[in-house]
Amino acid sequence: MTTNNTSILVSADQLSTFISSALQSAGLPDQDAIKVAGLMADADLQGSDGHGVIRLPQYVKRILAGGINTRPNIRVVTERAAMAVVDGDNGMGHLVMSHAVDIAIEKARTAGVAWVGARASNHAGPASLYVRKPIEQNMIALYFAVGNANHLPPWGGMDMLLSTNPIAVGIPAGSEPAVVLDMATTVAAYGKVKAKAKRGEQMPEGWMIDRQGKPLLDPKRADEGFLLPIGGHKGYGLALIVGLLAGTLNGAAMGRDVVDFNHDHVTPTNTGQSVLVIDLQAFGDPAAFKSSIDHLVRDLRSSERLPNVERIWLPGEQSHLRRQTYSAQGIPLSAPMLADLVVLAAELKIAPLVTNQA
């Protein structure tokens, strides 16, 4: 929760305006650019700083290289009362998944529960972005995604056939913040490894192993090893299952077919994501449910603590507090991040990011 002293503060609106301008300049239609930019700034607002504006240069590069369809025909290709598959037509993942979530909410309102999967989608930012709207509608949401680069081998193996395939779950509460779990199925997301390398720090044991199965601590040697799944074979199982539910089931990429979008900016990624939405109304009185969640949250938070533990957190609580703080004070952007955006603005010949300190 501490912000780096050298960082500059920017409001979500300022950030969103800049991102939108960059995406429009790269070729996205105005309304689409505004929508994607809003979601990206929202990611930074909740502190998901590995999935917000930091991705903008890469997105722009892919759009300019023709790796993204800027005029996609995002459409339902098959559906039933409680499910649909959306073909994203290689559009921006944020647009595809926003549409998918809207369909899921609509269907869940009638059927009680609905599952919507996407194929031919793209990287869509942090998983938890897509459980927020259902929560506002008194709905539980589960989100599964195939990551856009394979860094995880099967347990005991060395061929990187799996990604950090994340899970997000959002559960509405009453007066407490919603319970929002957002986790990679690996001990560390790959972005954290990159961040350690940038800061010149070593990784803790347990994040990665090398090809001898020994702990790999130097993040600059990350290419020589693999991420470790949470709980050993269990996390491997979870990563696989998430990939099957978000990828294979939707006819999207999984396993060998996953395109490493860090190195390939042209080949369509055929990214797959799935969202499950559960309408509380179908199960009983949503207010009673949310009150139960409040009680449980307070029980957990007020648990006796282990020595040296200052506070017990609920999943999503830190993001919730960051959102409050950053809304009031601004989102901190590091100097290198700002420098990247200055370069991007110059390349695209757009107005630079306006910050509170500018």
Query: By CB under 8 A, what part of segment 265-324 binds its own copies?
Result: 276, 278, 280, 282-284, 289, 292-293, 295-296, 299-301, 303-309, 311-315
In the set 88, 153, 272, 330, which binds its own copies (CB under 8 A)? 153
Closest approach of Cβ 244 to its own copies, in Å? 5
Contacts of 288 (CB under 8 A, 6+ apart): none
CA dihedral 211, 215, 218, 220 (to 10 degrees): 30
98 SS3 class:
helix
Using the rule CB under 8 A, is 134 a contact of its own copies?
Answer: no
Q: Which two tokens stand for residue 271?
A: 């990214």
Closest approach of Cβ 155 to its own copies, in Å? 7
**Residues touching its own copies, count (CB under 8 A):** 79
Using the rule CB under 8 A, is 12 a contact of its own copies?
Answer: no
Residues 35 and 98: beta-carbon distance below 8 Å: yes
Using the rule CB under 8 A, is 6 a contact of its own copies?
Answer: no
Nearer to its own copies, 10 or 254 (CB): 254
Spatial separation of the C-alpha atoms in residues 44 and 11, rounded to whole Å:
10
The secondary structure of residue 280, as a DSSP letter, is G
Using the rule CB under 8 A, is 354 a contact of its own copies?
Answer: no
Compute how many other C-beta atoms are within 10 angstroms of the C-beta atom of residue 156.
Answer: 9
Nearer to its own copies, 93 or 235 (CB): 235
In the set 5, 73, 256, 349, which binds its own copies (CB under 8 A)? 256
74 SS3 class:
coil
Binding mask of the shown chain, residues 103 to 132, with x at each position contacting its own copies by CB under 8 A:
-----x-xxxxxx-x---------------
Closest approach of Cβ 269 to its own copies, in Å? 17
Closest approach of Cβ 185 to its own copies, in Å? 8
Using the rule CB under 8 A, is 335 a contact of its own copies?
Answer: no
Using the rule CB under 8 A, is 1 a contact of its own copies?
Answer: no
Nearer to its own copies, 43 or 84 (CB): 84
In the set 58, 79, 138, 260, which binds its own copies (CB under 8 A)? 79
Residue in the structure block whose two tokens are 């978000």: 246
Spatial separation of the C-alpha atoms in residues 267 and 183, rounded to whole Å:
27
Residues 114 and 276: beta-carbon distance below 8 Å: yes
For residue 61, the one-letter residue type is: K
Using the rule CB under 8 A, is 101 a contact of its own copies?
Answer: no
Q: Interior CA angle at 47 toward 150 and 138, to 5°? A: 95
Residues 182 and 128: beta-carbon distance below 8 Å: yes
Closest approach of Cβ 217 to its own copies, in Å? 18
CA 138 to mean position of chain CA atoms: 21
Nearer to its own copies, 32 or 317 (CB): 317
Q: Which two tokens stand for residue 239?
A: 């990563």
The secondary structure of residue 122, as a DSSP letter, is -
In the set 9, 195, 217, 230, which binds its own copies (CB under 8 A)? 230
Using the rule CB under 8 A, is 204 a contact of its own copies?
Answer: no
Using the rule CB under 8 A, is 245 a contact of its own copies?
Answer: yes
Stretch that binds its own copies, among 50-58, 86-94, 180-188, 330-338 (CB under 8 A): 180-188
Residues 272 and 253: beta-carbon distance below 8 Å: yes
Residue-level length of the chain:
358
R_g (Cα) of the chain, nearest Å: 20
Closest approach of Cβ 339 to its own copies, in Å? 33
Spatial separation of the C-alpha atoms in residues 299 and 291, rounded to whole Å:
12
In the set 22, 181, 203, 208, which binds its own copies (CB under 8 A)? 181
